[in-house]
Structure 1
Amino acid sequence: MKFTLNWLKNYIDTGDLTPEQLSDELTMLGLEVDSVTPLFQDLAALKTGLVVSRENHPDADKLSLCQVQIGEETHQIVCGAPNVREGLCVVVALPGAVLPGNFKIGKSKIRGVQSFGMICSERELGLSNEHDGIMELPEGTRHGQSFIDSMELSDICVDVDLTPNRPDCASVIGVARELASVVKNPLSLPVSGATIPTNSSQFSVEILNPDLCPRYAGKLIRKVKIGPSPWWLRKLLISVGQRPINNVVDITNFVMLEFGQPLHAFDFDNLDGGKIIVRTPRENELKFSTLDETERNLDPEMLMICDGKQPVAVAGVMGGLNSEVSPETTTVLLESACFNPVSVRKTARKLNLSTDASYRFERGVDPEGTINALNRAAQLICELAGGEIVDDGIDCYPGKVEVPAITLSVDRTNTLLGLELTSKQVSALLESIGILCAASDNNSLIVTIPSFRVDIEREADLVEEVARLYGYNNIPTTLPAVNLSYPEQDPSRLKRLAICKKLTTLGYTEAINYSFIADKHIAMLGIQEGDKRFASLPLLNPLSEDQAVMRTSLLPGLLENVKRNINFQRPAVKLFELGKVFFPQGENEQPVEENRLAGVLSGNLYGEGAPLYYKHTPVDIFDAKGCVEFIIAEMNLGKVSVDCELHFRVPEAGQGDVYASEGYSLDLFYNDTKVGSLGSLKNEVLRTFAIKNKVYYFDLDFDALCGLQTKNIKFSSLPVYPSVKRDIALVVGEQVSAGQLLTAVQTSNDQLIEKSEIFDVFQGEKIPAGYKSVALTITYRSQSKTLTEKNVEKSHSKIVRMLTEKFGGSFRNA
């Protein structure tokens, strides 16, 4: 929205506000000022002159030799304008002046005659496209003066960037109303409180779509003489970037900028039947030529202004060629209406036609301001175009809405803003911009919302208005109360972060895959119907076939990672992923989400790029088992042992994971609840994923593990006395597991045993068939003294005797 300071002062006394102060005040009111620009500074060097004599050029029929007086000097200037004459007041560019477009004026010789300057036309000055002759200044204009000062062009243009919710400020009066709250001066309106009848004997108005046109008013003006507008009107339009056309059109543009109400003038003699019908187009009317001489394709839902026969304008956007005001027009029908913002917005967008009128209608114009704008334009047409108003016109208002009233609590306003305003102060602030207030009980105000404020709908909007008018800079600054207590951490999240960090120390790399997988992935794992992982949740709009369903297992994504690594010549893979899996419920119900921790191992145990002295060792099931035991230990859940709550079980035939190789899988149980599994993937499954290398996996229910009770960690000081190690090599039957031997040692309650470990299991030609050799190392330490050989031997003998008696083994020296 552009306006000039001189124009603004017609409606509000801005007092001593400088342009910079005015800009700051508007910005703080929420009307951000983009620029404050002095006008016509490129014309500062031009002077006013008086043509004291004119003679024909001695060597050119169409040129005149003029003597132009500028102050005390007289200059000879050759001019080719047909309207130059003696006694004419003109604009002169003397040698050295630069006209718009960087056109430099100098001394010249035209057809042998010296010319010392140039008499300018309006187009040469950049004021209009008029170039039929030189610009004629008003008679009596003093010569030798600055052109911009003499013609009162010295002004400042202010450009305000409006937000979509403030259509009331898309007018000079709207901006003046906002400034009234700052300068505390009354707003002066050229027209206010006007009404007109609902019918006329000269023309008729019919609204067939009242939902799209709540109000339509018109006035008939005869004996109009179309011609150029007076200088003051053209100057104002030029100052804000508008192109003057003729007096009637210029008046409608001027009033639109003044009131924010778009108007349109029809040539009444071209309206069939003297009728205005507001309706949508018929099937045979979907082609229409607008004022820009472009034929446009209409939609059946677009609102049109029609006469008794055909459309004559696109409602709220642009008039038509068939009813435009021309130099021959003598009778004008002036339109002032209110159209549905959504309808105008859709129409302008579909037609790719944005105008000043559609800009305002799209945001919402004041339905109660249509008559004021109509009367203002009618008065100006009578003054400037010699028109006569036939009667009071027509006001058709089927969409009248009651003015809303809102109760504003002063106490709540003060609480929200941190102020201590009284009811009178709040009322004064709101009434300064035309919002009427009436006192109510309980320290409240009954606020009547004016029709031009389409953005105010509730009490919170009024509180915002109070803050804006009081001044954001005047509201005291206070720091919010902040609770400095440390927020409680989610234990599961902390465990997740810890486990991910710990697994990377083992050489694993964390994978983060999409939660979407291909529908075929579940079948590729061999999962059959009846397994809860078989049914997956499909996506309504998947990115691709490979991301069509929500995953019910982490393994498909990890196996795709393994395949990609192998394809890129990186066969040594140790990956893990901790993420959600999704199990569908009933229709229109959210799926169940579970956190799983899964990993895959393949290739060399020591990874790619291992030192040459590291023997190539392929990973096996014990590496997967060791990783699971490491996870349990790091989560402080105790040990995984046959006699403990957490323990491994070899699944019975047909009871293990369907994708695990028979005899190469283990299930992890907590008591009788399965919380995970590990093993070797079947070759058939690997082939479906195009993987040729052996792959081992583990898959744990992380939510279940997080729900287990952790073991208490007790601090013990560093040992003072040295330890002693002894080894035991025991031959036992194949049915005895090494873990049973280890558990027996750990539960023997010998006070000197600090730690025990298995370091070898051997079967060979020196071991009888059906037997195996299990080697253990036991660490002995006393907390109170240094152990002697006798002390160690006594405890060690008891352990050997207990093992041989309990498991039927034979002791032999390792």
Structure 2
Amino acid sequence: MKVSYQWLQEYLDLDVAPQDLAEKIARTSVDINDVYSLSDGLKKIVVGEVVQCENHPDSDHLHVCQVDVGEEEPIQIVCGAPNVQEGKKVIVALHGARIADNQKIKRGKIRGVESNGMLCALQEIGFSDKIAPKDYEDGIYFLPDDAKNGDPVFKYLGMDDTVIDTDVTPNRGDMLSIYGNVNDIAAFYGLKSHFKEVAIKEEGTEKTADLLQAEIADTKIAPTYKLRVIKGVKIAESPLWLQIRLWNSGIRPVNNVVDVTNYILLKYGQPLHSYDYDQLSGKNFGVRHANEGEKFVTLDGDEQTLKANDIVVTVDNQPVALAGTMGGEGTAVSDDTTTVALEAAIFDPVMVRKQARRLDLHSESSMRFERGINPATVETALNEAAEMIKELAGGTITAGIVTGSEAPAVDTPIKLSLAKINHVLGTSLTMEQVTDIFDRLAFAYTVDGDDQLTVIAPARRWDISLAADLYEEIARIYGYDNLPSTLPTMTRNRGGLTPRQRFIRASRHDLEGMGLTQAISYSLTTVEKAKQFQIKPLAEPMKLDFPMSSDHVATRMNIVSGLLNDIAYNVARNVDNVALYEEGRVFLPMGDERPVEQEHLAAAVTGQMVANSWNKKDQPVDFFQLKGIVERYLKNMGIAGKVAYVPTSDRPEMHPGRTADIMVDDQLVGFIGQVHPQTAKEYKIPETYVFELNLELLLTAPKIENEYTPISKYPSITRDIALLVDDEVENATIVEAIKQKGGAYLKDIHLFDVYAGSHLPAGKKSLAYTLTYQDNKGTLTEDQVNAAFDKVTAYLQDKIDAEIR
């Protein structure tokens, strides 16, 4: 909230600089975004009076003005504003002046005519388009007739005021009003508040109840709903003092009726809404849930399509406003309005928040309804607004208030113990110090003996309901700086990582060591991408009720889709060689229960993992290169079980001929392969290979303990074998067969040649292996190696029908 320092001074005898006050608020109440004045950075901007205005001799839209700026002679200024006229007091930027955006004004000639300054619109001296009055959108601003020529303009426009822009947390909705700020500042400075309420004077004999009725069927959505009527009003521009209050608070002045409702909103934190009574379709007000698909045109002219969870204010069951959010175009106060129906209410904060967020209609009113409204000042704000409208717009206030519902203002009694207060805060406060704090907060209390007291938290502080809340109030008013500093009591436990943490950290280091770069992608994605690339497919992901965007509506059930988004981002920026991995959690829905969170590890590679070189051919990544990374990773992690890669065509997002499930002891732990070309096209990426592993299963899998094995000092012996086998026979099958009959001395099996084509029978291929034999305790003999090699040969012929070449 933008808090005016001068407005605060009306109710408090402040003797501190605005910057010091802001610093105190930040340390005691709420955060501060900024402290500024609208005049910051401006100079030599004064009041001027246009004493003569003539058309420019060489232009059909420029005017040559003689302007009295309090000097001996008027100065000549060329102005292009369409509304410039003689006799008006205007804003003048003199030669050498600094205006908005640090622009400097200099003397010059405009189409041959000398100009010694500039006549300014409000926007040109720093006002934003959001707060500058619409009546002056296309021209310069006119100052009051009593403004003195030559005086700086800042005091006439409230630009000499200092604005403290507070960042109010959701629990301190009371600080979204001058009333709440005054109470808080008075408490921590120990000041007496002079807050003023304006009493209402009902002079009309006509009863409000004869003009309107209100009936709230569901008091949950509108716990309090009240109406008043002011007849015979005349819509006009608000007085300057009221406009200054509004634009210094970041609100655009509109007219004397709407401005009063916004002024009361700022003063009490109570949103109000004004209706043109004559535009209402009936007399019976209500509040209800919107009908699914119901249409409604809001004040901004946009047609809204409502849902059943939205809430609307109705007249004869027809919507006239989005409750707590925005009024309707058809019943808005206009220049022709003569009778005003004024509404003050409390609406359900959760429903207002959801409605404003869904429709993207966040307003000053919705911000306050979302954080809570003081039930004790609803009627006070309504009465004061009616009285102000009568004073500024004329008219008569009808007798009485129409009440559709009314939630009582309930104070909350809370019992405290002095000993517990001191124990929690680490202080040595006396009962007199504690009661003094509650006196400053204006909280009633009763003292029971030397240690006990009962504090009454007033309805205006609806954030206080527990003893812990009062401990916080005592601490902040006493001063956080005054609380003693103590070291926490700690046990002397030896630090270290858990086995799970060590495994995850080692996984990251291992993949980075193999040339992959860590990526961190969003845990939220689209429903379609969440359902892709699952290790064990599930039906639907967990969806958010109120997603931030259409691309982040569901929790991920895989990591690969996020990595493919990262690859697409890089490829779109001409980064063709990308090798990424990510370790993180996926969220697997379990019906009505809380979803299961699993730790997964995934990688995605496209292009080349080894950069181009003069002495090496280009070698794009392929299935086997990525498979080698997975094999090395599983070996480095000490996975003791049998690892197998089983071809599969059951994964629709993966290439059916280049995809395999990863099995450890016949348990599915992940998959590896090429992304299906159609899926790659949808992601706008080139040929890409991926894998994903369920780390939860790998964490619990049996591990090989680290052991030292000395390198043999005895020579090795190798044997080569070439096999003619069917095309369907896999390398893994042959390697497993060789291991079974290789004997204790077989140390390594290396495939060094694969051939298929001419000179071989159809449907056959040739695979050539080198088998390495070595004994750690002695030198092998030819007979020992030949005997072991013959067993392998015989087994291959018998087991897989291999022909030895």
Please confirm whether the aligned pair reaches a TM-score higher than 0.5, indicating the same fold.
yes
Note the alpha carbon deviations across 1:246-268, whole angstroms, 9 max, x for none: 22222222221221111111111
- The offset of 1:193, in angstroms, is 9.5
Partner of 1:161: 167
Note the alpha carbon deviations across 1:258-287, whole angstroms, 9 max, x for none: 21111111111111222211112346x711
- The offset of 1:87, in angstroms, is 4.3
Aligned match for 2:716, one of 615, 618, 622? 615
Matches within 5 A, 1:205-224: 205-224=214-233
Matches within 5 A, 1:48-447: 48-54=47-53, 65-73=64-72, 74-79=74-79, 84=84, 86-100=86-100, 104-109=104-109, 113-127=113-127, 128=132, 129=134, 130-131=136-137, 133-191=139-197, 200-282=209-291, 286-400=294-408, 402-441=410-449, 443-447=451-455
Structure 1 pair 105–577 and aligned structure 2 pair: CA distance change class (3 A):
same
Structure 1 pair 150–488 and aligned structure 2 pair: CA distance change class (3 A):
closer
- The offset of 1:244, in angstroms, is 1.8
Verify the 8 A CA contact 1:573 1:600 in the aligned structure 2: no
Partner of 2:512: none
Verify the 8 A CA contact 1:407 1:445 in the aligned structure 2: yes
Verify the 8 A CA contact 1:214 1:400 in the aligned structure 2: no
SS in 2 for 1:406: strand
- The offset of 1:36, in angstroms, is 1.1
SS in 2 for 1:147: coil
1: distance between equivalents of 2:307 and 2:301? Answer: 19
- The offset of 1:154, in angstroms, is 0.9
Verify the 8 A CA contact 2:431 2:450 in the aligned structure 1: no
Matches within 5 A, 1:17-56: 17-54=16-53
1: distance between equivalents of 2:90 and 2:224? Answer: 47
SS in 1 for 2:166: strand
- The offset of 1:318, in angstroms, is 0.5
Normalised TM-score (structure 1): 0.61
2: distance between equivalents of 1:444 and 1:105? Answer: 68
Structure 1 pair 205–75 and aligned structure 2 pair: CA distance change class (3 A):
same
Verify the 8 A CA contact 1:226 1:329 in the aligned structure 2: yes
Structure 1 pair 569–597 and aligned structure 2 pair: CA distance change class (3 A):
closer
1:453 correspondence with 2:461: yes
Matches within 5 A, 1:299-698: 299-400=307-408, 402-441=410-449, 443-482=451-490, 540=590, 575=638, 598-599=703-704, 614-615=715-716, 691-692=736-737, 694=739
- The offset of 1:360, in angstroms, is 1.1
SS in 2 for 1:46: strand
Partner of 2:621: none
- The offset of 1:573, in angstroms, is 9.1
Structure 1 pair 420–616 and aligned structure 2 pair: CA distance change class (3 A):
farther
Structure 2: give runs of 5+ residues left out of the alignment: 507-533, 538-587, 602-623, 642-664, 668-695, 720-728, 742-776, 784-805
Verify the 8 A CA contact 2:299 2:329 in the aligned structure 1: yes
- The offset of 1:391, in angstroms, is 1.9
- The offset of 1:56, in angstroms, is 6.2
1: distance between equivalents of 2:472 and 2:207? Answer: 38
- The offset of 1:121, in angstroms, is 3.5
1: distance between equivalents of 2:201 and 2:471? Answer: 33
- The offset of 1:28, in angstroms, is 1.3
SS in 2 for 1:432: helix
Q: Which amino acid aligns with 2:398?
A: V
Note the alpha carbon deviations across 1:655-709, whole angstroms, 9 max, x for none: xxxxxxxxxxxxxxxxxxxxxxxxxxxxx9x97898455379xxxxxxxxxxxxx
- The offset of 1:314, in angstroms, is 0.3
Matched pairs, number: 576
Computing the radius of gyration from Cα coordinates, the structure with the larger value is 1
Structure 1 pair 279–429 and aligned structure 2 pair: CA distance change class (3 A):
same
Note the alpha carbon deviations across 1:133-179, whole angstroms, 9 max, x for none: 54322223221111114544212121111111111111122122111
Instruction: Report sequence identity in percent.
Output: 36
Verify the 8 A CA contact 2:313 2:323 in the aligned structure 1: yes
SS in 2 for 1:368: helix
Note the alpha carbon deviations across 1:163-215, whole angstroms, 9 max, x for none: 11111111122122111112211222222899999972321111122111100
Structure 1 pair 301–574 and aligned structure 2 pair: CA distance change class (3 A):
closer
Structure 1 pair 139–195 and aligned structure 2 pair: CA distance change class (3 A):
closer
- The offset of 1:323, in angstroms, is 0.8
Structure 1 pair 58–426 and aligned structure 2 pair: CA distance change class (3 A):
same
2: distance between equivalents of 1:410 and 1:37? Answer: 42
SS in 2 for 1:148: coil
Verify the 8 A CA contact 1:247 1:385 in the aligned structure 2: yes
2: distance between equivalents of 1:599 and 1:400? Answer: 70
- The offset of 1:65, in angstroms, is 4.5
Structure 1 pair 488–252 and aligned structure 2 pair: CA distance change class (3 A):
closer
2: distance between equivalents of 1:193 and 1:695? Answer: 100
Note the alpha carbon deviations across 1:534-590, whole angstroms, 9 max, x for none: xxxx9957899x99xxxxxxxxxxxxx9x9669969999994669xx9x9xxxxxxx
Aligned CA-pair RMSD = 5.0
- The offset of 1:50, in angstroms, is 2.9
SS in 1 for 2:10: coil
- The offset of 1:408, in angstroms, is 1.3
SS in 1 for 2:415: strand
Structure 1 pair 71–421 and aligned structure 2 pair: CA distance change class (3 A):
same
2: distance between equivalents of 1:313 and 1:601? Answer: 72
SS in 2 for 1:451: coil
SS in 1 for 2:236: coil
2: distance between equivalents of 1:420 and 1:574? Answer: 56
Structure 1 pair 517–202 and aligned structure 2 pair: CA distance change class (3 A):
closer
Verify the 8 A CA contact 2:208 2:398 in the aligned structure 1: no
SS in 2 for 1:6: helix
- The offset of 1:48, in angstroms, is 1.1
2: distance between equivalents of 1:186 and 1:108? Answer: 55
Verify the 8 A CA contact 1:423 1:444 in the aligned structure 2: no
SS in 2 for 1:346: helix
Q: Which amino acid aligns with 1:245?
A: V
SS in 2 for 1:261: coil
Note the alpha carbon deviations across 1:27-73, whole angstroms, 9 max, x for none: 11131112111222344321112334455666778765543222233
Q: Which amino acid aligns with 2:390?
A: C
Verify the 8 A CA contact 1:234 1:244 in the aligned structure 2: yes
Verify the 8 A CA contact 2:273 2:342 in the aligned structure 1: yes
Structure 1 pair 597–245 and aligned structure 2 pair: CA distance change class (3 A):
same
Q: Which amino acid aligns with 1:175?
A: N
Q: Which amino acid aligns with 1:139?
A: D
Note the alpha carbon deviations across 1:90-129, whole angstroms, 9 max, x for none: 2212233343356654444456543332333444445424
Structure 1 pair 301–106 and aligned structure 2 pair: CA distance change class (3 A):
same
Q: Which amino acid aligns with 2:261?
A: T
2: distance between equivalents of 1:572 and 1:267? Answer: 78
